Amino acid sequence: MTAEQRRNLHAFRGYVRKILDPTYILSYMTPWFKDDVVQHIQAEKNNKGPMEAASLFLQILLELQEEGWFRGFLDALHQAGYSGLYEAIESWDFQKIEKLEEYRLLLKRLQPEFKTTINPEDILPEISGCLINQECEEIIQISSNKGLMAGAEKMVECLLRSDKENWPKTLKLALEKEESKFSELWMVEKGTETIQMKDLEDDEMKTLDVQIVYKEEPENQNLSQNSCPSSGVLATYSPLKPRNYQLELASPAQKGKNTIICAPTGCGKTFVSLLICEHHLKKFPQGRKGKVVFFAVQLPVYEQQKSVFSKHFERLGYKVAGISGATADNVSVEQIIENNDIIILTPQILVNSLKNGTVPSLSIFTLMIFDECHNTNKHHPYNMIMFNYLDQKLGGSSDSLPQVIGLTASVGVGDAKNTAEATEYICKLCASLDTSVVTTVRDNLEELEEVVNKPQKFFRKVESRTTDKFKCIISQLMAETEALAKSIFEELGTVTLENLSQIQNRNFGTQKYEQWIIAVQKACMVFQMPDKDEESRICKALFLYTSHLRKYNDALIINEDARVKDALNYLKNFFRNVRAAGFDAIEQDLTQRFEEKLLELEGISMDPSNENPKLEDLSFILQEEYHLNPETRTILFAKTRALLLTIALYFQALKNWIEEHPRLSFLKPGILTGRGRTNQTMGMTLPAQKCALDAFRTNRDSKILIATSVADEGIDIAQCNLVILYEYVGNVIKMIQTRGRGRARGSKCFLLTSNADVIEKEKINICKEKMMNDSISSLQSWNEAEFKEKILQIQSHEKLIRDNQGKVKPVLDKKNKKLLCRKCKTFACYTADIRVVEECHFTVVRDAFRERFVTKLHPRPKNFGSFEKKAKIFCARKDCLHDWGIHVRYKAFEIPVIKIESFVVEDVATGAQTLYAKWKDFNFEKIPFDAAEMYNHAQDLNLQGMDGLE
C-alpha cells in the first residue's frame, strides 16, 4: 500500500460510501479485521444503515498498517461482485460511477411510484446481474416475509447503491418486458452498440434502450403474444401445439441432419426452431449436455428471439442468455457461453471471439441456428463463422462439429438465368452452411395455405408529368453550373471535365448522374499542379460546383416521386445553410443564380397543374381500398438510393403529402427507416423505430406506415392487408419478404411505378421464384450421398481460393505521408503524428494540428464507451470549413478524432495523391495511442474557446 493509494482512497471515499455495504465483504477481510471490529461494523449498519457502516469501515481500513490490505480490499470487492467499484479504484477513474448519479436522483424521486407498481419478484431475474448476490437473496426474503411493497423498497435501496454501469438500461428493459407502466416514467439515456468496431467519427452508434417486437408467427400462433396481454394482467406461459407442417419442417433437423428450412414468412419458423432445440437438448444422456447458439443479424430480432427462447426454455430448467454489441462490453462472452445452455448472439460477437481466442473453437457448441440464413455469403458475419467451421472440417480436426440449421423465407437464386444455374447457386449456399438437406412443406401444403396468406398482386404503370417546368429550370441551372466548372479546365488547357469520368450518357435527375458527380469529385480531389496555391483554388472551386450539382440532382429525384414543393424546400434549406457557412465568391454567384429563379419556382410549386401523376394514382389506390374496407392497414414501401443524402426528407415529403391531402389526412402516416447513415444524414434510432411501429400497431388512428427495406425482414403486423411498392423493387428475396408483410386474409400488393423496367424486373422476380422452387424440388430428389459429395467439392474449391487469397497480404507502407483537406488541399498533418485509439479511432498528437482546425459545439453530444463526443472540427480556412471529424474527451485527454474520408493522402517523396474511404484501406504504419506521450502534449491540445463545452 503506497501513500498515494491511501490518499486516493481517502479522496474518493465519498463514492465508496454511496455504493459499498461493507458487511458483504467483511468475510473476505478476516486477515485484517478482528471479530470485534466486524461486529462493530455490523452493528453500525443495523443501527444507522449501510452508508454509516461504510464510513466506519473506511476509517478503520485507512488506519491499517499491515501489509497487503489494499490488495486484499480490491480482491474482496471483486469476490463480492462490486465490479464497477473494483474497476474504478484500480484505475482511480470514477467517471462511470459519477454518470450514474442522475439515475439515482431520478429513482429516488420515483421511489413512491416504484413501491406501489412494481412486483420485485417479476423483474429480479432480469436485473439480478446489476446487484450483489446477497442483495438478491435479501429482496426475495423481505418480499416473502414483509410483502411485495417492502421488497420493492429494498430493491430501490439496492439499485441506488449499484455500481454497474448498465443498471439503468437493464432496469428499463426489465420493466418493458413485464409491460410495466413504470417504464414510461423511467427515461434512460440512449446507449450504444457496435456489432462491428467502426470509426467513431462515422457516428454510426446505435441505441438499444427499448425493444421493437419483431414477430415471425402468424396471428393465431404468436409466440410473443404473451408480452402484450389485452387485459393488462401479466400473462402466464402456455405451450403451443405444433402444426403438422411445422413438425414436417423440423423432422430432418430432429434426426440430426444439417438442414436449411425454407418456409414462407408468417408460418412460424421460430416455433420450429424451438421444437428442434428442445429435441436436441433432451437427447443427450445423463452426464452430457448440449449447447445451442442462435444467431440473429438485426438487434430487434435478437431481442425478440432472446425473449421467446427464455420464456420457452427457462420453464424447462435450461439457462438462456444473450449477447449483442450493446452488451458485449459489460459481460464476459466466455462465461456467458460456459454457464448457459442456449445463447442468443448477434453473429459479429462470435466472429470477434473466435478471432481473439475468447472462444477457442466452434466445437464448444452442439447446435448452431442461423436466422435469415440466406445472408451466408461473401464477407457477412455468418460466412465468417462458417469459414471457421469449414476450416475445422476440411483440416482433419478430430473435434466434433455442431449441427447446423438455417432458417429463411427464400434461399434466392442470385444472378441465375435458368434452373441449372439456380440449382448451382442453392448448392453453394448449402455448401456455405454445410447442409445436405433443404426442407420445405410438401406433405402438409393445405394446412400451410390455411395459415399463410399470399397477397394478390397488381402492377400499376403511371405516366410521368407531360411537362415538368421545375425540372426544366433546375436543369438549366445545372447546365450553367457545369459550364462554370468546365471554364476552370479551359484555364488549364490540359484536361477537360468530360474525361475525368468514364460515365457517359448521363441525364440530370438520375442516379447515374450522381455517380458521375462523385467520380468527378474524386478526380478533382487528387488533381495536382506545380503551384500549390493555384491547385488549392481550383480544387475548392470544383468541389463547390460539383456539390451544388449534387444538390440539384437530389432535388430532381425528390421531384420525380414527390411534389415540386418538397423538392424546392430541399434546395431552399441547402442555400440557407450555404449562406450561414463560408459563403465565398463562388457560393455567392451560385446562390444568386438560384434566387433569380426562386420566384418562378415558387409559382410552379403552388400550381395544381404540376401535381405528380404518381401521387394522384397513389391517392386513387388508397381512397379506393379504404372505401372498400375502412379498417385497412397499409405499409408503403418507398425506394431508397444508396447514394442519396435525402432519405429522411424524401420520406417526410411523402408523409407531408398524405397529411396535407384533404381525402387522405385521416390515415395519420408514420415513418420507418433504417438506422444506418450517410455522411450527412442520420437514420432512425432504435427507440424511434419502436415508437413508429408501436403507433402503427396499437393506435387505430394510424393506418399507414411509410417504410424502407428495414421492414422487409422480421416485422409482422398481423392486421396489415395492403402493401404498396412505390417505385420499389429488389431481388427475389426482397420480393418474397415485402409480399409477406401483408398477413391478413384478402391482402393486396400494388407495385406503382412510372418505369416499365421496374415492372419487368418484378415479373422476372416472379419467374425467379418459380425457378427457385423448381430447383429446391430438384435438389430434394437427389440421392443424399450424391448431394453431400457435391457440397464437399464446392467446399474444397472455395477453401482453396480462400487460402490463396489469405496468403496475399498488403505491404505495410512505412513512408511518411501528408494529409491534405479534401476540399481546399490545405495541409493538415503527417501520418507520423497520427495515433490509433482503441484499434479503430485516429487522433493527431502534435500541438500544431490544433491551429489547423476550428471547432463548433456538436449538435448531438454523446458518450460512447470511453469517449465523450463534444464538438465538431472543421478546416480552419474561413473559405473552406470542411468537416474533418469530432473532438472528444477520452479518459483524461481532450483529443481530435479525424475521419480519413475528409482528407487526401499525399506521398511526401513523390507528391502522388490518393483517396481512401476507410482507415482500414489505408495501409500505413499505425502507431498505438500512448498515454505517456499524450501527457507531454495535453496542455497544448486544450482547445481555445472550449469553455462552453465543459
The pLDDT of 522-538, averaged and rounded, is 80
The pLDDT of 709-717, averaged and rounded, is 56
What is the structure's pLDDT at 738? 62
| Axis-axis angle for helices 69-80, 3-11 (nearest 10) | 50
For 375-426, write each residue's pLDDT tens digit.
999 889 999 999 999 999 998 888 899 999 999 989 999 888 899 999 999 9
The pLDDT of 70-95, averaged and rounded, is 87
Contact 880, 582 (CB under 8 A): yes
* Lowest-confidence segment of 405-409, 471-475, 497-501, 802-806 by average pLDDT: 497-501
What is the structure's pLDDT at 664? 92
**Radius of gyration of the chain measured on its C-alpha atoms:** 31
Is the confidence at residue 701, as pLDDT, over 80?
A: no
Cβ neighbors of 948 (< 8 A, separation 6 or more) are: 857
* Lowest-confidence segment of 267-271, 572-576, 577-581, 640-644 by average pLDDT: 640-644
What is the structure's pLDDT at 521? 81
The pLDDT of 571-578, averaged and rounded, is 89
Neighbour count for residue 892 (Cβ, 10 Å): 11
* CATH T-level fold of 469-610: phosphoenolpyruvate carboxylase, domain 3 (1.20.1320)
Sheet with 841-844, strands from edge to edge, namely: 841-844, 834-837, 927-928
503: phi then psi, degrees, rounded to nearest 5: -75, 120
Same fold, 3-92 and 96-186: yes
Cβ neighbors of 302 (< 8 A, separation 6 or more) are: 296, 322, 324, 344, 345, 346
* Lowest-confidence segment of 191-195, 392-396, 514-518 by average pLDDT: 191-195
Q: How confident is the model at residue 522 (pLDDT cuts 50, 70, 90)?
A: confident
Is the confidence at residue 162, as pLDDT, over 80?
A: yes
Q: For residues 351 and 839, which has the higher predicted lDDT (pLDDT)?
A: 351
For 136-155, write each residue's pLDDT tens digit.
888 888 887 777 888 888 99
For 814-827, write each residue's pLDDT tens digit.
889 999 999 899 99
Cβ neighbors of 464 (< 8 A, separation 6 or more) are: 560, 613, 614, 754
CATH for 244-408, among 3.30.390.50, 3.40.50.960, 3.40.50.300, 3.30.310.160? 3.40.50.300
The pLDDT of 565-579, averaged and rounded, is 89
Mean pLDDT rounded to a whole number for the chain: 82
With residues binned 3-state (H G I as helix, E B as strand, rest as coil), the percentages for the chain, rounded to 5, are 55, 15, 35
Q: For residues 426 and 329, which has the higher predicted lDDT (pLDDT)?
A: 426
The pLDDT of 292-309, averaged and rounded, is 86
840 assigned to a ligand binding site: no
Beta bridge partners of 403: 367
Q: What is the distance between the alpha carbons of residues 719 and 654, in angstroms, rounded to a whole number?
A: 22
What is the structure's pLDDT at 790? 94
Is the confidence at residue 879, as pLDDT, over 80?
A: yes
What is the structure's pLDDT at 443? 94
Q: How confident is the model at residue 230 (pLDDT cuts 50, 70, 90)?
A: very low
The pLDDT of 869-878, averaged and rounded, is 91
158 assigned to a ligand binding site: no
For 766-792, write each residue's pLDDT tens digit.
888 899 999 999 999 999 899 999 999
Which is the CATH superfamily of the domain at 817-944? RIG-I-like receptor, C-terminal regulatory domain (2.170.150.30)
Residue 321 burial (CB < 10 Å; 0-12/13-18/19+)? Answer: buried
CATH classification of 96-186 is 1.20.1560.10, yes or no?
no
Cell 375502412 maps to which residue? 630
Q: For residues 496 and 250, which has the higher predicted lDDT (pLDDT)?
A: 250
Is the confidence at residue 219, as pLDDT, over 70?
A: no
What is the structure's pLDDT at 234? 35
Q: For residues 919 and 707, which has the higher predicted lDDT (pLDDT)?
A: 919
> With pLDDT > 70 as the criterion, what percentage of the chain qualifies?
84
Cell 415508437 maps to which residue? 691
**Best-predicted range by mean pLDDT among 329-338, 585-594, 759-768?**
585-594
875 assigned to a ligand binding site: yes
Q: For residues 207 and 135, which has the higher predicted lDDT (pLDDT)?
A: 135
What is the structure's pLDDT at 385? 96
539 assigned to a ligand binding site: no
> With pLDDT > 90 as the criterion, what percentage of the chain qualifies?
33
Is the confidence at residue 673, as pLDDT, over 50?
A: yes
Q: What is the distance between the alpha carbons of residues 635 and 712, in angstroms, rounded to a whole number?
A: 11
CATH top-level class for 629-755? alpha beta
Contact 152, 208 (CB under 8 A): no
* Lowest-confidence segment of 12-26, 474-488, 571-585 by average pLDDT: 571-585
Which is the CATH superfamily of the domain at 3-92? Death Domain, Fas (1.10.533.10)
Q: How confident is the model at residue 194 (pLDDT cuts 50, 70, 90)?
A: very low
What is the SS3 assignment for 483? helix
Strands 834-837 and 827-830: unpaired
What is the structure's pLDDT at 228? 36
Taken as a whole, the chain contains a residue count of 950
Q: What is the distance between the alpha carbons of residues 826 and 838, in angstroms, rounded to a whole number?
A: 28
Q: What is the distance between the alpha carbons of residues 545 and 55, in angstroms, rounded to a whole number?
A: 67
Q: Pick the closest to residue 203 from 948, 899, 929, 710 (CA basis).
A: 899
What is the structure's pLDDT at 495? 61
Cell 408467427 maps to which residue? 217
**What are the domain boundaries of the chain?**
3-92, 96-186, 244-408, 469-610, 629-755, 817-944
The pTM (predicted TM-score) of the whole model is 0.65
Q: For residues 266 and 380, which has the higher predicted lDDT (pLDDT)?
A: 380
Beta bridge partners of 750: 458, 724
Q: What is the distance between the alpha carbons of residues 159 and 123, in angstroms, rounded to a whole number?
A: 12
